[in-house]
A = this chain, B = another copy of it.
């Protein structure tokens, strides 16, 4: 691992690291915020998954999360959104290829050789974080848009792995919307049956009651992608049917930007803290 940057921030440390990912077969960059120690305890970790076109720095520089993370004693880990590098397949459009990994394991070429973000986020990265940094093994997960989809499928597919999950403007039903249908058809092939394993609504409807964890979703009602790509109410209805403790908040006037995330990230951190420190 190579330390690329370090900055003092709210008495903690904001760092950027590069490491060689065996799962993705390329070099990857992630950012981490290590809060100042509280009573000598190892902090739990909130993983943040970013949206289309983002890398590890969008949330790091724009969300203003470090202030509350420092106060609460939560480490923040911000991975990249896809494999990177000249050897990695890409597409000219913003919603496929680099910056658009969709947090799944691709089965189709040319994607299958590197696009395994699900395994990377689920296994390789947490193992690295817990081995290399002084953090606890308590984890929560959150994300924005494509990263909200990522956070939700990570939580739904891995009972017991996270103590809580939250999302801002997530893609909850990718099998039914253009962003998801395009990505899934390229990464997973045209057989739509296979897509269900990566769709939060389908996963929610197939979930067991004992696996439910607290979930919080914020959605701006001025988000231009709300009707065509997001529709979080579909997941909220599935959660209701399965008695999952999911809270969906509609925030009047807010859009899809980091100004929206910055406005409500404190609520999400306090929500996760309730469960991380239980």
Contacts and interface: CB of A to CB of B under 8 A. Distances in A.
Nearest to A6: B255
Interface stretch (A42-50, A186-194, A257-265): A257-265
Nearest to A64: B64
Contacts of A29: none
Nearest to A7: B259
Interface stretch (A8-16, A19-27, A211-219, A268-276): A8-16
* Chain A interface size, under 10 / 10 to 19 / 20 to 34 / 35 or more: 20 to 34
A210 to B, nearest CB: 38
A48 B67 CA distance: 21
B258 A61 contact: yes
Given A14-B259, A259-B14, A8 B64 contact: no
Nearest to A5: B257
Contacts of A83: none
A250 to B, nearest CB: 13
Contact of A62 (B62, B222, B255): B62
Given A9-B263, A11-B263, 17 more contacts: A7-B259, A7-B260, A8-B222, A8-B253, A8-B254, A8-B260, A9-B259, A9-B260, A10-B262, A10-B263, A61-B61, A61-B258, A64-B64, A64-B262, A66-B259, A66-B262, A66-B263
Contacts of A10: 262-263
Nearest to A266: B67
A8 to B, nearest CB: 4
B7 A255 contact: yes
A259 B64 contact: no
Contacts of A62: 61-62
Contacts of A79: none
Contact of A262 (B9, B11, B253, B257): B9
